[in-house]
Structures are given as structure tokens and as C-alpha cells.
């Protein structure tokens, strides 16, 4: 479903701040894969997701989604294939617009937007039902401004928006990192549910090793702009945090990485 071939990306090339963020990343996700991504700060996790989403152009390499080469497509065109939830709860929704308006915008992802009315009557009841399923008490607040919602509610809404128009690929970029533990757990559970229900191919960046092991069918770890660990299936199910740490120090050839990972 997703194929990355030898992706390279350097920021601030030629300056003292030069940073090789991605150094030849290759990855293939199969249809329906739920892949968790872990790694320390600056390992390239979010950079990889942004490369896929098209936030900027990569220096070299190719990206294809569902067989379509998207390497040279701008961000808004790639959006036709991709649903995204960001780390910052403010980033995924338009705060000055109503809940229903946000949903209606998401429902037209990848479509031409013309001079038809932006929300149809049929949509309204459809959204109401969907929000009822989220169980956040939002079903009666369709015309509330999103700016009034809590961070957790916004992430749940963004998740719904990302999956409303079934994407070929769902990108979750530390989408629970800014939430309190209880809300984070709820949003994670919701993510699991949505991914399973719609059978979405998913990449989820997380800082939490336990979450990374518990969720999904595949786990990759990044270090220094490269994918250093890639486990899936039975092997991943049996994985424990200490094992993961050991695996990591073996690959990266450093013990101090333990702390770096745990602390980050």
C-alpha cells in the first residue's frame, strides 16, 4: 500500500545547522498493516511521516501509495490518499468553524470543491450518528465551534475527519502525546477501533514503547535517519520493552541510547 524507496532529506544543507534527517529510508507497508514507529528525538519519525504526507519535497527517493507515484505531488493533492492526525490538537481542525463544517470539509477530501452548498441535509444525520459512536457528547453540538472543544475531543474529531473519507493510508503523528494519560488511552482505543473497522493501512508514531508493542501488527524503530528495527507478526506480539531496548542498543551500538529513548 505504501512504498518508500531510498528516501533522503537534509535540512539546512550547507549551513552549520545542517541535519541529515532521513538517510536512505526504505519501507513497504502491506494493505491493512498497522505499523507503529518509535525512536528517540531527532531519529526521523515525524520527518518520515511528513515526507509521506508531502509537507515538503524529499531530496531523493520515491514514494508511492497504492501503486500511485506521489513523490512529486504537492501536499494538498496527496491528501486524496492520506488521512492525518497531528501531535498538536490545534493543528488538525479549523477552530473558528463549526464541528459539522469541519466534518463536511473532511468528507470532501480529494474531491473538486465547487459552488454546491457545503453541507447536505443527509450529512447532518450521518455525522450525528458517527459522533454518537465516539461517545464524547458531541452529537448534540454539531454547530459548536471546534475552538471550544478540549484537546482530547479535538483529536477524536480529527481522527474521525481523517477516516471519514476512507484513506489509503492513515498517518498518526504522536497524536496522543499532548493529552493526559486517561484521554490518551481513550483516543488510542478509538484509533484502534477506527483502523480495524475500516481496515486502514496505518503508521503511528509514538514515544511510548508499551503502546508501540500493544498496538498494530508491525513495529519499526528509527535511529539517526534510518530504520534500524523492523518486526512484525508473531515476533512483534511476543516483544517486551526490555527486549526492545536490548535490540536497540545492539543495532545502534550504544548503551546510552537506552536512557535517551526512555527519557524522550
Partner 1 sequence: MLNFIGALPGAVSQGLIWGIMAIGVYITYKILDIADLTVDGSFCTGGAVFVVLFGSGANIWLALLAALAAGMLAGLITGLLHTACGIPAILAGILTQLGLWSVNLAIMGMKANVAINVTNQSNLEKLMVSLRFVQDVAAGRRPFYRHPILVVGVFSLAIIAVLYWFFGTELGSALRATGANPNMARAQGIDTNVGKVLGLMISNGLVALSGALLSQYQSFADSSMGKGAIVIGLAAVIIGQVVFGKLFHNFALKLTAVSLGAVIYYAVIQAVVSLSDINTNYLKLISAVIVAVFLAIPYWKGRYFSKAAKKGGAVHA
Instruction: Write down how long the chain is.
Output: 264
For residues 142 and 99, the answer to whether their CB atoms sit within 8 Å is: yes
Going by C-alpha positions, the residue among 10, 177, 184, 158 that lies closest to residue 84 is: 158
Query: Between residues 56 and 254, which has the closer beta carbon with respect to partner 1?
Result: 56
CB of 124 to partner 1, least distance (A): 14
**Under rule CB under 8 A, residue 115 binds partner 1:** yes
Binding segment for partner 1 (CB under 8 A), chosen from 21-29, 30-38, 104-112, 132-140, is 104-112
**Under rule CB under 8 A, residue 75 binds partner 1:** yes
In the chain, the N- to C-terminal Cα span, in Å, equals 30
199 Cα distance to chain centroid: 15
**Under rule CB under 8 A, residue 113 binds partner 1:** yes
**Under rule CB under 8 A, residue 144 binds partner 1:** no
**Under rule CB under 8 A, residue 108 binds partner 1:** yes
Among 65, 106, 136, 261, binds partner 1 (CB under 8 A): 106
**Under rule CB under 8 A, residue 73 binds partner 1:** no
**Under rule CB under 8 A, residue 200 binds partner 1:** no
Cell 514507529 belongs to which residue? 37
Binding segment for partner 1 (CB under 8 A), chosen from 96-104, 199-207, 232-240, 246-254, is 96-104
Which three cell numbers, joined as nine digits, stand for 100?
459539522
For residues 4 and 46, the answer to whether their CB atoms sit within 8 Å is: no
For residues 145 and 95, the answer to whether their CB atoms sit within 8 Å is: yes
**Under rule CB under 8 A, residue 260 binds partner 1:** no
Helix (H) or strand (E) holding 28: strand 19-29
Among 43, 104, 187, 229, binds partner 1 (CB under 8 A): 104
Q: What is the distance between the alpha carbons of residues 51 and 2, in angstroms, rounded to a whole number?
A: 12
Q: How many of the chain's residues bind partner 1 (CB under 8 A)?
A: 35
Query: Between residues 127 and 223, which has the closer beta carbon with respect to partner 1?
Result: 127
For residues 178 and 123, the answer to whether their CB atoms sit within 8 Å is: no
Residue ranges that bind partner 1, judged by CB under 8 A: 53, 74-77, 79-80, 82, 84, 86, 90-97, 101-102, 104-106, 108-111, 113-118, 161-162
Amino acid at each position: 500500500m505504501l512504498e518508500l524507496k531510498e528516501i533522503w532529506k537534509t535540512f539546512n544543507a550547507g549551513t552549520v545547522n545542517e541535519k541529515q534527517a532521513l538517510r536512505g529510508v526504505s519501507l513497504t507497508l502491506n494493505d491493512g498493516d498497522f505499523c507503529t514507529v518509535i525512536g528517540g528525538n531527532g531519529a526521523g519519525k515525524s520527518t518520515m511521516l511528513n515526507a509521506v504526507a508531502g509537507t515538503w519535497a524529499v531530496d531523493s527517493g520515491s514514494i508511492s501509495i497504492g501503486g500511485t507515484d506521489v513523490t512529486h505531488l504537492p501536499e494538498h493533492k496527496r491528501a486524496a490518499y492520506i488521512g492525518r492526525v497531528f501531535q498538536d490538537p490545534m493543528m488538525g481542525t479549523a477552530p473558528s468553524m463549526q464541528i459539522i463544517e469541519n466534518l463536511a470539509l473532511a468528507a470532501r477530501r480529494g474531491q473538486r470543491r465547487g459552488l454546491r452548498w457545503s453541507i447536505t441535509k443527509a450529512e447532518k444525520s450521518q455525522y450525528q450518528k458517527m459522533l454518537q459512536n465516539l461517545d464524547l457528547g458531541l452529537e448534540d453540538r454539531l454547530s459548536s465551534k471546534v475552538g471550544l472543544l478540549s484537546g482530547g475531543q479535538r483529536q477524536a474529531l480529527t481522527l474521525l475527519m481523517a477516516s471519514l473519507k476512507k484513506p489509503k493510508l492513515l498517518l498518526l503523528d504522536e497524536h496522543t502525546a499532548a493529552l493526559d494519560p486517561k484521554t490518551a488511552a481513550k483516543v488510542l482505543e478509538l484509533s484502534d477501533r477506527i483502523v480495524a473497522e475500516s481496515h486502514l493501512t496505518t503508521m503511528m508514531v509514538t514515544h511510548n514503547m508499551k503502546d508501540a508493542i500493544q498496538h498494530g501488527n508491525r513495529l519499526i524503530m528509527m535511529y539517526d535517519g534510518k530504520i534500524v528495527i523492523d518486526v512484525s507478526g508473531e515476533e512483534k506480539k511476543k516483544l517486551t520493552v526490555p527486549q526492545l531496548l536490548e535490540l536497540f542498543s545492539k543495532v545502534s551500538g550504544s548503551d546510552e541510547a537506552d536512557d535517551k529513548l526512555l527519557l524522550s
